[in-house]
Structures are given as C-alpha cells and as structure tokens.
Structure 1
Amino acid sequence: MSRAAFYRMRARGLAPKCLKLPNGQIRVRRSDLNAWLEHCEVPAC
C-alpha cells in the first residue's frame, strides 16, 4: 500500500488505530494492524 493511500484511508477513518510519536512519526501497533486486517478479510468463493 502506498503512503498516500494509507493517509487517505486514515483521513476517512478506515485505517487501523495509529499512534503519533513526539517526533511527529506515526506508528501502528501490530495487534491493531492484525485486528484491522482480520476485519478487512473477505471469504473466498
């Protein structure tokens, strides 16, 4: 996923929960990322 796509999803509230560090960088906890990925999964036919 591109950085721009991630930021668009984040702006729309569709990205996993993010943490903003004091230096301005953004991080995602692995547990939040895994939960978000499981939520996005669609069963294959």
Structure 2
Amino acid sequence: MSSTATHTDDDLMTVPDVLHVLRPLSKRTFYRWRETGKAPICIRLPNGELRIHRSDFKEWLDSHREQVAA
C-alpha cells in the first residue's frame, strides 16, 4: 500500500493546505484576500475553522490563469 494520499475533488482542504500549494503566500495575505472577496470559496465550520473544497480551489486557480497573447 502506498503512503501517497490520493485526493478527490470533494476533499476538503485546510487553510495550511492551500498556503502550502500557494507558497510562499502568507496566512495574513490569504485572510486579506478573504476580506476583499479575492480568496477561493470557503466553508466555515462550527468551531470557526475554514475548509475549501479541492474542486472550488482548482476552479479558483483556473479563473486566475493568464491568457497568452497570440
């Protein structure tokens, strides 16, 4: 059995997971993006922690893809 985790689009990512992908993005910048509506869609759990569906994160990343001029 492999120790490599497999992910599905329904997986929930934590803020540290997102920061790891976007490194060297700081936690402060991520929360500033949330305040200004620039962050990916988040789910606030009853304990106050945030989670992001992997599919929403991928869609958010794709929406920031730059088009190359031909």
TM-score norm. by structure 1 comes to: 0.88
**TM alignment of 1:10-29, pairs within 5 A:** 10-29=34-53
**TM alignment of 1:1-40, pairs within 5 A:** 1-40=25-64
> Unpaired runs of 5+ in structure 2?
1-24
Q: Deviations over 1:1-45 (max 9, x none)?
A: 110000000100011100001111011110000000000111356
Report the identity percentage: 42
TM-score norm. by structure 2 comes to: 0.59
Alignment length (residue pairs): 45
> Unpaired runs of 5+ in structure 1?
none
Could you list the runs of 4 or more consecutive aligned residues of structure 1 that deviate by over 6 angstroms after TM superposition?
none
